[in-house]
Amino acid sequence: MEWQKILADAVQDGKIKELHLKKIPVLKTCDNWREVEPIGWIDHPMKLTHYKGALVKLRGNIYFVTEKTINALSEYINWKITQRIDVI
């Protein structure tokens, strides 16, 4: 529960710490994708993985959605994500 509270406010001024980004769960399935609120794009390479996608909010929690999932859903949902989030 403690990390969920921290992660809910992880994005501030268009920036997120790399440590917090690693802890954010990936949203793969959802009952209603129209409830998902996009926060901003992320394109950040790490040592073992590459975060390329968007941060979103769903029911007060923050999630990471991969670019592959966004492209698959873009046929049904119009994603209007203009903000870019920098990883520090």
CA gyration radius, the chain = 12
pLDDT value for 8:
66
pLDDT value for 37:
92
For 8, left (φ over 0), alpha (ψ -120 to 50), or beta? alpha
Phi, psi of 48, rounded to the nearest 5 degrees: -110, -10
Running along the chain, 88 residues long, what does each successive block of 10 average in pLDDT?
64 84 90 92 92 92 93 89 89
pLDDT value for 42:
94
* pTM metric for this prediction: 0.88
